[in-house]
Amino acid sequence: MADKERIGVIGLGIMGKPMARNLMSAGHQVAVYDLFPEPVEELVTDGAILGTSPADVASKSDVTVVMVQNSPQSMTVALGENGIIEAADKGQLVVDMSSIAPLVSQQIGKELEAAGIDFLDAPVSGGEPGAIEGTLAIMVGGSQAAFDRAAPIFDATGASAVLCGDVGAGGFTKLANQICVAANINALAEALVLTSKAGLNPETVFNAIKGGLAGSNVMNAKAPMMFNRNFQAGFRVELHLKDINNVMDTAQQMGVPLQMSAQLQQVLQALFNEGNGTDDHAGILKYVEAMAKVEVKKD
């Protein structure tokens, strides 16, 4: 234990709480903070150290992990009143594992660097199951030295971690991931709607095509959810909408037209407006079904 750095975790939601648990299980001293007291109390009962603010967590940590919902929350946690920047010692490392706009990550990194604090943006893919199992895919932006220092955190929370470039590169890579995932889910939904309209069993269609070029991790995970009509969230529609909004905001700032991402934004926004924001993103199927007046379900 003595050779392990003290770790702070700020944000104990669907992803942050199991990640904090995995760090504790790996033998790290972990200080925790969240706006909601329940997960804090739960983890403190199990051996975590109580943090009363982001600044307080930073004062009790050598490396501080941030896992919050979006860019404004990351900005507040890092740079706002009672934020990390107010209490972190020079040489501390901040690892923001939230999925936020990469240009915002670059801004945070620049201000922390000016205060002598190292920074990595390190968003993840794998959803709640990956956070619980410690099998997240971690996409990292920052220096090699900071990446190497964060390796014990990545080992405890993920199955893979790739340094993609300088600060912001992790976020850009995560946006790329979210484009591909949403596009695959939408294409899968259209495929199952079309074949269901033709009278085929969607489970049979899935079994027939999953071994070919169309097969993918997305298909293997989401097709059974679709034909079993199981939309219990592993990754919510509203969170994927947030990510695609970040895609489009970033693309606009950079002058990059993204036609498919723009369409996905409309699909996800429509689902959210219909009250389906807490569904798993496999619920993109509902949008396609509504357009075609066809329901996908296995025989």
Catalytic residues: 174
For residue 30, the tally of other CB atoms under 10 A from its CB is: 28
Place of tokens 């501080």: 64
Whole-angstrom Cα distance, residue 92 to residue 197? 58
d(CA 54, CA 68): 12
- Direct distance between the N- and C-terminal alpha carbons of the chain, in angstroms, rounded to an integer: 55
Is the C-alpha dihedral spanning 12, 13, 16, 19 positive or negative?
A: positive
Name the amino acid, one letter, at 194. L
Contact 11, 67 (CB under 8 A): yes
Question: Please, what sign has the CA dihedral across residues 33, 39, 45, 46?
Answer: negative
Q: Name the amino acid, one letter, at 248.
A: M
